[in-house]
Amino acid sequence: MSLVIKETTLPGVVIIEPVIYPDQRGFFKELYHKEIYNEAGLDKEFVQDNHSHSVKGVLRGLHYQLKNPQDKLVTVFSGEIFDVVVDIRSGSPDFGKWTSIYLSSENKHQIYIPGGFAHGFCVLSDSADVVYKCTDFYSPDDEYGLLWSDEDMNIDWPVSEPIVSEKDKKYLRLKEIPAEHLPTY
């Protein structure tokens, strides 16, 4: 079994197309197989799985951890999301650039996001269940974020009036975040 790995415009951020085995009953796929992902160059030790259920129009993000950066492997179990990754690594040639992908239970794709990037998504279907593996544990004292609507980044979110948490509304624009609160390249 092999994976199809597609590069994005951000080095290290990749789209994964797992092998799907469909038949008259439905389908089968492996969400994660350490040896296969290692062979594909994604040799990571995941320590925590998270499940997020959201309704249509919810926008979560853009989040990151600084001292305990989390690589993430994101999958959508039900519904559809618009997933966004932003390079916030100080000194990176891609600093401030972003990439996006539509992930859904229909296309069954995954996205791998290295630590040092901010991540967020918005829900396009009536609801969505998003599951993601992390290489480090969630640390509330190490939680940071970037304002989802930062006009300098001009992310083309496909929702007109997103439902955003109070916490996510208060994050700073990228140019306002102190250097000591950004990962380095």
List the CATH number of the domain containing 159. 2.60.120.10
Residue by residue, pLDDT tens for the chain (185 residues) are: 578 999 999 999 999 999 999 999 999 998 999 999 999 889 999 999 999 999 999 999 999 999 999 999 999 999 999 999 999 999 999 999 999 999 999 999 999 999 999 999 999 999 999 999 999 999 999 999 999 999 999 999 999 999 999 999 999 999 999 999 999 99
pTM for this predicted structure? 0.95
Q: Residues 152-157: contacts with CB within 8 Å, 24+ apart? A: 152/96, 153/86, 153/96, 153/98, 155/84, 155/86, 155/98, 155/100, 156/100, 157/59, 157/82, 157/84, 157/122
The total of structural domains in the chain comes to 1
Tokens representing 174? 């990228």
Structural domain including 134 reads: 4-181
114 CB neighbour count, 10 Å cutoff: 21
Contact 123, 57 (CB under 8 A): yes
Is 37 marked active-site?
no
3-state secondary structure of 25: coil
Is 63 marked active-site?
yes
Please pick, among 37, 64, 112, 132, the residue that the annotation labels catalytic. Answer: 132
Please pick, among 63, 119, 144, 171, the residue that the annotation labels catalytic. Answer: 63
